[in-house]
A and B are shown apart, each in its own frame.
Chain A
Amino acid sequence: MIIIDNTRLPESHDDVEAVNSSAKRQPLYAARRKIFPKRVQGWFRRFKWLVMLVTLSIYYVTPWLRWDRGPYAPDQAVLLDLNNRRFYFLFIEIWPHEFYYVAGLLVMAGVGLFLITSTVGRAWCGYACPQTVWVDLFIAVEQFVEGDRNARIKLDAAPWTPAKVGRRGLKHGIWLLIGVATGGAWIFYFADAPTLAADLFSLQAPPVAYFTIAILTATTYTFGGLMREQVCTYMCPWPRIQGAMLDEHSLTVTYNDWRGEPRGKPAKHPSPAGKPVGDCVDCKACVAVCPMGIDIRDGQQLECITCALCIDACDAVMDKLGRERGLISYATLNDYSANMRIARQDDVVIQPARVRNATGGFAPGIRRTNWRSVLRPRTLVYFLGWSAIGMAMLVALSLRPAIGLNVLHDRNPLFVMLSDGSIQNGYDIKILNMTQQPQELVLSIEGLDGATLAGPSLTDAAARQLRVTVEPDLVLPLRLYVRSTARNLPSQSDFTMVVTSQDGAMSASTPVRFEAPDQEE
C-alpha cells in the first residue's frame, strides 16, 4: 500500500469516460451519454465568462439603445424595419437597393472567419458561437442550482424525491426564462422596443411576435439546455467546414503527448527529472471539464470546439504537481510535430527523457507556442482582404448620395410615333429621398438635343426639366415621357437623366436610352 500525499495530488476522475471512446461497443443508434462538465477556473474560463458577458449584453441590450434621427425616422439605434423596408444601424440607414452593404458584411464575416480560423483555430466554435454561449450559460445555471459535477451525478442517479423535483423544476424554469428572454430580445430588433414591450405585456402585440418568442424559447431551451453538444456534433455543418480551414500553422487545443506519455498514476510518479513516465498523471480532469465530453488526449477530433477549458483544468493540475503548465496547450501542428520528432526520434515509443534536460527543464530545441506563428502570408492576405472590404464599404457609405434616381424604360412598346411624326418614349422614374428632410428637387434631361419631357404633371410643352418635392425617407414614382421631334434619329440614342437639389449640393444621374424606329435606307 502506497501512501498518497493528498495535498499535492489532484482529484482523480476514474469514472469519467469520453463519449467517443473506442473502448466501449456502441449500437448503431446510441442513447445520449450524459455529460456533467465540472467547474473549472483559469485564464480561458475567465475569458469565456468575458465573451459571454459581452455577447449576451450586446444581444439583450442593443434594441434598447436610442438614436435621434429626427421626426421622420425611428429613434432606435439598431432596427430592422421590415414593414417599411429600412435597416437602421446607428448612423447608417440602409435602403432595400443598398442591400449590397449586407452582402459586404457577409463577405467580411466569411473572410474574417478564414482569418480567425487560420490563426487561432476554431475560436468561433469555442467562444463566440451562440450555441456555445447559451450552452455555457445553461450549464452555469445548472451548476448554480444542482451543484458541481459530483453533486449533479448524484442527483441524476437519485430517486424522484420532492427535493429532486424541486431542484430540477427550478433549473428548467430558469432555462425556460432564459429562452423567453432570448426570444423576446429577438423581436425587439424588428420593432420599436419600448412600444413592443408594452404591447407584449398588455397582450396587444401582433400574433407573430408571440409566435416568434414561442419558437425561439423552444429552440433555445431545447438546443441550449437539452441537446447541448449534440447540436455541434450531429446537427451543425460547421465543424466539418471549419476543420478544413485549419493548416499546420493554426493554433489548436493540443495534448502534448511528447511530454505527457507514457501516462502514470500519480502514486507511481517519480520526481520530474529522470523519468520513466511522462507528465500526464491520467487524472482525467481534462475529460471531466469538457462540455463536449471528449478526451482531448485522443488527439484533434471533430467534437472539439477548442474552448480550452481542458487547458485550464490541466494547468491547475500541473500547478499542484509543481510542473510546468502547458501539457495541454494551444499549439500548432508544426511545433507539435517537431517536438514529437524529438520525443520519438527513430523509435515509435515516446521517451520522456529525450525532451528533458538534466535539471528537469525541457531539452533545447523543444518548441513552445509562439504567438508570432499567427503572422504569416496566409493570415496577412486574409487580413488585408478583410480590411480592404471594410475600408471600401466605409468609403462607399460616406460617399453615397442621399438622393437617388432609378429610370426604367418602357419595353412594350419601345417607342410610339405621335401624330406629328415625333417619337415618344415612356419611362417609369423613381426619385429617392434618403434624407430626413423634404427635398425640392429638379429632374432634367441632358443630351438628346431638342427632346422634351412630357407627362400629365408637365404643362409646359417645351420642358426639359421638372420640379418635384419628395417627402423625407420616401420614393416618389413618376410616369414621364420624352419626346423628340428630330428627324432621322438613330434607332438608339443615349442621354442622361439628372436629379439635383435646389442648391446643387446633391445630385444623382443615370444613363437612359431613347429608342426610335429604324431608318429606312
Chain B
Amino acid sequence: MSGQDNSPGGHDRDIDHLSGVETTGHEWDGIKELNNPLPRWWLWTFYACIIWAIGYTVLYPAWPLVSSATSGLLGYSSRVELEQTMAAVETANGAVVARIAEAPLEDILADPELARFATSAGASAFRVNCSQCHGTGAAGGPGYPNLNDDSWIWGGTIEQIYLTIAHGVRSPTDPDTRYNLMPNFGADGMLDREAIKEVAAYVASLSDIGGAATPEGEQLFADNCAGCHGERGAGMSDVGGPDLTDKIWLYEGSLEAITAQIERPRHGMMQAWSEKLDDATIKELAIYVHGLGGGQ
C-alpha cells in the first residue's frame, strides 16, 4: 500500500497510503516504518538525560570494578549516610533517653510519655538481645521462661525484673548475679531411686498432674526441697526457687520430667546484660517485659 511521490522537495518520498504518512524507507518482511516525527525538545531532553547520567556516574559511586566500585568525586557513601541517619536519630532521642536513665523505674511507669517511649525502645532492644532465647513474642520455651505469664522465678516486680536483666542468672562474670543451684539428688547419690520416685510423685500432686502424695514423699520434700521451694512448694522468688504448685513449668510439667529434674537437674544461664547494654536500655527492657501481661 505504498507508492512513489516525486514532490518538489526533490527526494523520492515513500508515502504509506493507508495513513498518509511518509515512511523512513526501512522495511522488514513487507512492514514499513512510518516517519512520525517527535518534537525536537523531546530529543534534547533525551540528550540531556544522557549527559546527566554521565555526570552522575562521575560524581557518585557507579562503575563496578573487580573488588570494589568507583567511589565518585563527591565521596558519597550509603554507609556513611546510614551512620549519619542513625546518629541523628540518637541525638533526637537523646533527651528522652537521658530522662529514662535518670528517673527511677516507678517514675517512668507513672509518666505516660516516658513509659510509651521506654516500651517501644524496650521492644526493639528485646528483639535484638533477648528474642534468641525467649522468642520474639517472649513466650519462651522449655528451659527458657515465658515472660508473658504471671509466674516469676526471681520475682515479677519492675525492680526484680530490672535486677534479673542487669545481673543475669548464673552469669559467671557478675558477682551480683542471680545464683542458685539445685543439688544433683540422684547423680550425686543424695537420694536413692525409691526416694526420688516418692518426692517426684509428691511434687506432681501439688499441681494436679498425677502422682500420689504419700507421707514419705511429703517428709522427703520438707527435708530436701522446702529450703528453696517453700514449705508447701509455693516457691521463693528471693532465692529463685520456682513455684511447684502452679501450672507453669520451666521444663516439662510431667512426672517423668520432674523425676529427671530431681535426679540430674538442668539449669539455665542468662548473661549479665549490664556488661553489654547501658542502664537506660536495661530499664527500657525491664519496662517492656513488665508490660507483657504478667508484671507484678
Interface of A toward B, CB cutoff 8 Å = 22, 25-32, 227, 230, 234, 410-413, 416-421, 424, 426, 454, 456, 479, 481
Contact = CB atoms under 8 A, between A and B. Distances in A.
A426 B139 CA distance: 12
Contacts of A416: 139, 146, 148-149, 293-294
Interface in B24-56: 24, 35, 37-43
Contacts of A230: 39, 41
B247 A22 contact: no
B37 A420 contact: no
A27 B13 CA distance: 12
A412 B139 contact: yes
7 contacts: A27-B37, A29-B42, A234-B42, A419-B243, A424-B148, A454-B293, A479-B291
A22 B15 contact: yes
Q: Which of B9, B148, B246, B248 has the most CB of A within 10 A?
A: B148
B278 interface: no
B240 interface: no
A22 B18 CA distance: 12
Contacts of B15: 22
Contact of B40 (A32, A410, A418): A32
Contacts of A26: 22, 35, 37
B148 A25 contact: no
> Which of A26, A234, A416, A418 has the largest count of B CB atoms less than 10 A from its CB?
A416
Contacts of B150: 418-419
B11 interface: yes
A22 B248 CA distance: 89
B32 to A, nearest CB: 15
With a 10 A CB-CB cut-off, give which of A412, A418, A456 has the most chain B CB atoms. Answer: A418
A412 B41 CA distance: 58
B139 A413 contact: yes
B149 A30 contact: no
Q: Which 7 A-B pairs have the closest CB atoms?
A: A412-B137, A419-B246, A413-B139, A30-B37, A416-B148, A421-B247, A29-B43
Nearest to A23: B7
Nearest to B21: A22
A489 to B, nearest CB: 14
B135 interface: yes
A456 B136 CA distance: 22
B149 A426 contact: no
Contacts of A31: 39-40
Contact of A417 (B7, B38, B149): B149
A395 B198 CA distance: 73
B41 A32 contact: yes
A28 B149 CA distance: 76
Interface string B221-264: 00000000000000000000001001110000000000000000
The number of chain B residues touching the other chain, given as a range, is: 35 or more
A361 B148 CA distance: 93
Contacts of B9: 25
B3 interface: no
Nearest to A230: B39
Contact of B148 (A27, A420, A426): A426
B164 interface: no
A230 to B, nearest CB: 6
B151 interface: yes
Contacts of B40: 29-32
Contacts of A227: 41
B28 to A, nearest CB: 17
B13 A22 contact: no
Contacts of B243: 419
A424 B291 CA distance: 14
Given A416-B148, A419-B247, A410 B137 contact: yes
Contacts of B151: 418-419
B189 interface: no
A147 B50 CA distance: 40
Contacts of A29: 37-40, 42-43
Given A22-B21, A28-B35, A412-B137, 5 more contacts: A29-B43, A416-B293, A417-B247, A419-B246, A426-B293
B247 A28 contact: no
B20 interface: yes
A424 B293 contact: yes
B247 A420 contact: yes
B110 to A, nearest CB: 11
Given A25-B11, A412-B136, A30 B248 contact: no
B246 to A, nearest CB: 3
B13 A25 contact: yes
Interface in B261-296: 291-294
Contacts of A419: 149-151, 243, 246-248
Nearest to B248: A419
Nearest to B290: A456
B38 A418 contact: no
A412 B38 CA distance: 59
Contact of A28 (B24, B135, B139): B24
A412 B35 CA distance: 64
A492 to B, nearest CB: 18
Contacts of B294: 416, 418
A69 B146 CA distance: 49
Given A27-B37, A28-B24, A30-B38, A420 B43 contact: no
Interface in B132-156: 135-139, 146, 148-151
Contacts of B136: 412
B40 to A, nearest CB: 5
Contacts of B7: 25
A28 B33 CA distance: 11
A25, A26, A230, A420: which has the most chain B beta carbons within 10 Å? A25
